[in-house]
Each structure stands twice: as C-alpha cells, then as structure tokens.
Structure 1
Amino acid sequence: MSDRAAGPLPPIPLTILTGFLGAGKTTLLNRLVQDPALHDTVVIINEFGEIGLDHLLVETVSDDMILLSAGCLCCTVRGDLIATLEDLLRKRDNGRIGPFRRVIIETTGLADPAPILHAVLYHPYLSMRYAVEGVVTVIDAVNGKGTLDAHVEAVRQAAVAERIVLAKTDLVNDPADLARLRERLHQVNPGATLLDADAPIEAIVAGGLFGLDGKIADVRDWLKAEAVEEAEHRSHAHQHGDHDHHGHHHHDVNRHDASIHAFCLTSDQPIRQGALDTFLDFLRSSQGAKLLRVKGLVALAEDPEHPVVIHGVQHVIHVPAVLPRWPSEDRRSRIVFIVQDLAREPVEKLWNAFVGSPGIDQPDATALADNPLSLRR
C-alpha cells in the first residue's frame, strides 16, 4: 500500500450552479452533461424531468441516479442535500459508483446559494471531503436587468458568484444594454469572472481553490482581492470627485445593488492566530447573517511563510487550506468581504482593533467600548 492511500483523500471540488428561473440554467446544464469534459462528474438536480435526459440516458444506476452517455452521473436530491452528499461519498468509498472527480449542484429557481455553501462548510466531515470550488450564477442577458431590479435574491446570487454566465446574449438587440448589464454586474461583484454561455465548459465549472487532483489551484484567481480593491478605489474616487449626485452614474444604482457590496481589508504585518480568531468570532457572532461570503489569505505571526486560506459564509468561517508558499510577492494578509446591509467602517474598526496596529498586543477596553459590534454578543 502506498503512503498516499494512508493520508487524507484529496477534497472533491464542488460547484454550485444557480440563477433565476428562465435564466438559461437548463440549457447550460444540457450542454454540461453532454460534454466529455464532465466525465466523472456528478450533477445533482432536483428532478430528472428538468433536463431532457432521455436521449442521453445510458443506464439507471439506482432510482435516484443515472449514468449519461458522456460519462456524467446525474442524481436527484434524496431527503436533503447533506444526506445526498453523504450517500454519494458512501457509494464512492464502497465502490458502488466510480470515483467521481467533481460535483455540480444545481439549485432551483429562487434558491439562495448561501445555505448550500453554509451546509457544506459547516459539516465536519463534508467540509473535509468536498472543497467548495465556487458558485456559478447564470443571468439572462435579455431579462437580467428586470430580474436584478425586482429581486434582491438575484443580486445576492450574482454577488456571491465566482463566475457569472450571461445566457441569451445573442438575443439582446442593443449592445449598449448588454454593456450596461456587464458593468452593473462588475459593480455588484468586482471579483467575478463574466463569461458567455458558450464559453468552454472548463472555464465555467473550474477555477476554484482546488483543482481536480485535489491540489491547491490559483489562490489569487479565487480570491480576486486586487479586483475588489481596484473597484473600491474607483467608487471612492467617483464619490469624491462627483459632487453632483444627479450624475449619470447615480440614478442607475438600484436599491438592491446598493445594499450589497464587496470590500477588502489588508494588513502588512503578520497577524497572531489568537487575534485573527477573536476578530472572526466577534464578526460572526455580531454580523453573521450579513456576511454573504468571506475569503482571505492571511499571514499568521506564528508561521508567516505558510499563509492560511480562509473561506466563510455567514456564521461559518473555516480554513480549507494552508499553503506551502505565498502565491506571489505580495505577502499582505487580505480578506475580501461580500456583505449585505453592512458598512465597511465597523468591520474595519474591529479589524484595526485586533489586527491593525503593530505593537498593541490586545485591543484595549476603550477601543472595544467604542465599537458597537463588541457589545452585541
């Protein structure tokens, strides 16, 4: 037996595919399940009827699982999603199904991806066996503006995505409309990669923290801290350089968009593990519901050469990986927050109290007393 088999199994990348009803998810799924690139992939859908699978069907593995001609395994949710994900691991470990390399979960209609992310990250066993690779949100290029205007959930789906797929771009009559939609999505989520629905399958489902071999992929691409920082600078400069608040730019910011935004906090000094834990605990307990997504790369004072990766959703924040080395020359700690109804200032104040000032071992009581977050335990 090789020593490899004795160690922990590499995590299985897990992608969440979301988008509003009619956005074009089913069309995209149909393309995904027929593509040989998704050989050894399990696609979890609510019911088989949602994709016309008859012409793709090879064999029925069980009443809730079928194997398609391209080698992709489709399964429906039995009970709840956690049970389905556990059942898949059991079948895989017992050899009843082949060792699949990744999982794609399709959420229905209005579903908010946060509870799924939350469930997987929070589960002690699933969070070891599956690696949340990312959220892919499909947006209909024709009706996208109306959907985003009417539903804050749609804005949230776009805000937490790693990749946003624009479907039906060929049906848009005015290129300016499409350009406006792209710019709006970039403002809501500066870190997301915008793709067209005919992009290569690999570009749509890959690009997360872990590759198919279970090894760490490009952390910088996953974190996208530079894009978030740049967007912050742009909007900051815009606010200060434009005293005319009736400018062209302001009237098109929808109230839903305004409630959701991304920001990045950094520290040049390595951070003590205890200070980081305390900061994250305070933040979770006081503002958890407003943290749509938290992603970071942090230098710990105890071991600054091996940065830790942080990934969180709402009240759950965990460390999916410790890197063997820094991914670039930039060794600052960076945490990207995607939040709803939460200003940057209180989070930054808390960050500075625990992390920001070199030479201060623990935040003093007055700094905390001034901070409203600390009182809402």
Structure 2
Amino acid sequence: MISQAAYGAEPNKDRRIPVTVLTGFLGAGKTTLLNAVLSETSSGKIAVIVNEFGEAGLDHDLIESVEDEIILMQSGCLCCSIRGDLAGTIADLIERRDDGFLRFERIIIETTGLADPAPILQTLLIDPELARTTRMDGLVTVVDAANGSKTLDAQFEAVSQVAMADLILLSKTDLISAKVTDALSMRLNGLNPTARIERPVAGQFDPKQLWGLSGLRKGVRQEDAIAWTTSAPEPKIDPLANLSGLSKPKPVSFAPTPHDTRISSASIVLDTPIKDSAFDYWLDTLIALKGPDILRVKGIVFLEGIDVPFVFHGVQHIFDPPVPLKNWIGDDRRSRIVVIARDLTRPELQRSLDMLRAHQPKTGTKEEVLLGHD
C-alpha cells in the first residue's frame, strides 16, 4: 500500500474538487442543513447532488432558475439529482464546468436515509476519472437528537453512518433535555471515538464547519492530521442538565444494544518508524481476512528511511493514495493507526495490531485501545 517509491515529487496545490458526503437517517435534518448551505455565499459556489428533488425539499425562496435538470440557487450554488449512476452524474457536472456552462468549487453528495456511505466513498476512488478530478473532503452524519437512540436501536444502517463519520451533527437538540442529548452524545462517541460531535443551533450554524474534515489532503496542517487520527474529546456533560444546576449532575449512560456491540474500534501508537514491507503485509492481511467488515482504516505512518510521514485512509478494501506530510516539524515520529470495524471483536483487532507491534523494539512501543466492544 505504501512504499518508499511513493515518496516523490508532489504538486504544491491539489486541484481536485473536494467532495463532502452528507448522510443521516430519515428525518434527521439533512434537508434543513442543505438549505442552510445553499443560502450561504461565504463558502463559494457548491454543487449539491441529491437523490430526488422531492425528497430534498429545497427552499423555493432560494431558487433562481431551473435549467436542464439543474436547479440554480440565488447564492450561486447549484443542485441536481442523480441521473443514472453517481459517477456519471459527477462526471457530467465536471464536464459542464470545464466547458464553462457551470461554476462550482466543491460538491456535496446527499445520500438516502438508508444508504451505506461506503459504496459512495469507493466510487470516488475506483472510477478513474473521478479519482483524477475529485477528492474526499469529509463524511458528515446528521443525527436526530430527539429520535436518535431509537433509530440506532432499530436500524443498523444508522449505526454504520455514525461509525464512518468525520463529523456528527446533532439536530433538534432544542426539542429535548440536555441530559438526553448528553447521553446520546456519549453513545455516539462510543461508536466513533475519532469523530467530532457538534450541536448546531438554528440560525447560527456556519457551513464552513463542513469543509476540510479529512486529514488526507495535500498541505494539511500537522495538528489537523493528528486530530483526524486520534480520539476526539469526550462530549461535555451539561452541568445545568438537572433542574437547579446546583447539585452534581448524574453521569449519563446507556445500555449497549446488539447494534452497538457490532462496532469495534482500536488504535495503536508506534514510537519508532516501521519497515514499509511490514506495514504493507499487515494491511494486506487485514483486508484479505476482514475487508468487507472494515468500515474505515486511517492513520499517520512513519516508514524506515523516510523523514516525513504518510497519511493513509481506506474503506473496506479500497484505499486512497497515501499523502506525504512534507510540512511535518518537530521530533515526533510516532505512527498513529485507527481501525473502525464491523463484527470484529476487540481481541481480533488486537491480534491484528500485534503484527505491527512485533516489528517494534520491545521498549519502544506504546499501544492503546480507543474503544472496543466485546
């Protein structure tokens, strides 16, 4: 997957179009979020691809005109439905942009409520034209705070959407108590320890929070790449969640359901660089044995003989080309690897990570588990 040959000349600027995948279960609030994005002008011109206009519920006050199945918005953004297949729709938009008929700087793909995001992420990589012209900028999952727990209990698709997210947005928090919201936030953090969880307030949400979520991009800041591969801070419990706010709030908790226990995540930190052959063998073995169940693998890895680290990322058996972090500074040469998987127990993940540990000096390895479910 990553070898010393991968370290070479790299253009200073990535000219591929950033793509954000917006997912969330039925009724979570994707439509509200889309309308907020399409009404904004500070993020530049955006192409939004939705499954059906009827489902999208676009705010007609924001629509300027409709041309050739393309809805043009007053903000300069545009919106279209998926015609045929996703790859064909994106390729058509890019071709029309290159010909000067459309203008946009980024793409949002809104999935159906029941959709598994993995095939969309893979499409962006396995289609040769899309791999050349687009890059994954982040996966955003909207969760209905009022009904989120019930949805997670009943629908494993919703659990997978949470587990794969870079950013989780809790909607409708104004409809429920802070205590219930805190409990749901803790549950979401358990399913995906690396995702940032936000509670946007209506009228105060900045769409720019949706951009630049992936650490796998050229020129990414060192601190952003590290944050992308480490555990996010645990959600803060509202001290005023009780009636008076004067007594110590009770800790929030939830009983893990069978759906939750199907998701496991673990991480390893390696203090010294690893041989590229050892890393590739570990990754190839993990994919061969458990590929369909690997929701995401991501990390920063230092290889022997190379001064700068690589950022890597994969979904199931499909991986992005690794990106060297040429602006890395300081003496920190630790590799950080995160695996989020479905239907793998913690011991299975641990045994996999032990393959990497075996190639480290006995006194120079630190391994930590972010979270796992037995």
Q: Could you tell me the TM-score, scaled by structure 2's length?
A: 0.81
Alpha-carbon distance in 2 for matches of 1:32, 1:317: 29
Which structure would you say has the larger RCO, counting Cα contacts within 8 Å and 6 or more residues apart?
2
Residue 291 of structure 2 is aligned to residue 282 of structure 1: no
Residue 66 of structure 2 is aligned to residue 60 of structure 1: yes
Partner residue, 1:201: 207
Residue 299 of structure 2 is aligned to residue 291 of structure 1: no
> Which sections of structure 2, spanning at least 5 residues, go unmatched?
1-10, 235-250, 363-374
Alpha-carbon distance in 2 for matches of 1:210, 1:254: 33
Partner residue, 2:106: 102
Partner residue, 1:43: 48
For residues 65-104 of structure 1, the C-alpha deviation after alignment (integer angstroms, 9 at most, x for no partner) is 2220011111211111111122222222232322x22111
Could you tell me which of 176, 179, 185 is aligned with 2:179? 176
- SS of the equivalent of 1:37 reads coil
Alpha-carbon distance in 2 for matches of 1:17, 1:333: 30
Partner residue, 1:76: 81
Alpha-carbon distance in 2 for matches of 1:18, 1:217: 26
For residues 37-83 of structure 1, the C-alpha deviation after alignment (integer angstroms, 9 at most, x for no partner) is 343111111122222343222233422x2220011111211111111
Identity among equivalent positions (%) equals 39
Residue 164 of structure 2 is aligned to residue 160 of structure 1: yes
> Which sections of structure 1, spanning at least 5 residues, go unmatched?
1-5, 232-247, 361-377
Could you tell me which of 82, 93, 96 is aligned with 2:98? 93
Asked if structure 2 preserves the Cα contact closer than 8 Å seen for 1:219 and 1:327, the reply is no
Partner residue, 1:313: 315
Alpha-carbon distance in 1 for matches of 2:187, 2:329: 30
Asked if structure 2 preserves the Cα contact closer than 8 Å seen for 1:28 and 1:197, the reply is no
Partner residue, 1:300: 303
Alpha-carbon distance in 2 for matches of 1:45, 1:141: 23
1:327 to partner: Cα distance: 6.2
Asked if structure 2 preserves the Cα contact closer than 8 Å seen for 1:209 and 1:219, the reply is no
Alpha-carbon distance in 2 for matches of 1:166, 1:285: 35
Alpha-carbon distance in 1 for matches of 2:146, 2:356: 46
Asked if structure 1 preserves the Cα contact closer than 8 Å seen for 2:264 and 2:342, the reply is yes
Alpha-carbon distance in 1 for matches of 2:186, 2:46: 33
Alpha-carbon distance in 1 for matches of 2:118, 2:150: 22
Partner residue, 1:324: 326
Asked if structure 2 preserves the Cα contact closer than 8 Å seen for 1:291 and 1:314, the reply is yes
- SS of the equivalent of 1:28 reads helix
Alpha-carbon distance in 2 for matches of 1:74, 1:222: 34
Asked if structure 1 preserves the Cα contact closer than 8 Å seen for 2:22 and 2:109, the reply is yes
1:289 to partner: Cα distance: 0.8
Partner residue, 1:143: 147
For residues 81-134 of structure 1, the C-alpha deviation after alignment (integer angstroms, 9 at most, x for no partner) is 111122222222232322x22111000111111111122123333233222111
The 10-residue stretch of structure 1 (255-264 or 202-211) with the greater mean CA deviation from structure 2 = 202-211
Structure 1 residues 30 and 264: alpha-carbon distance in aligned structure 2, compared to 1, 3 A threshold = same
1:323 to partner: Cα distance: 1.1
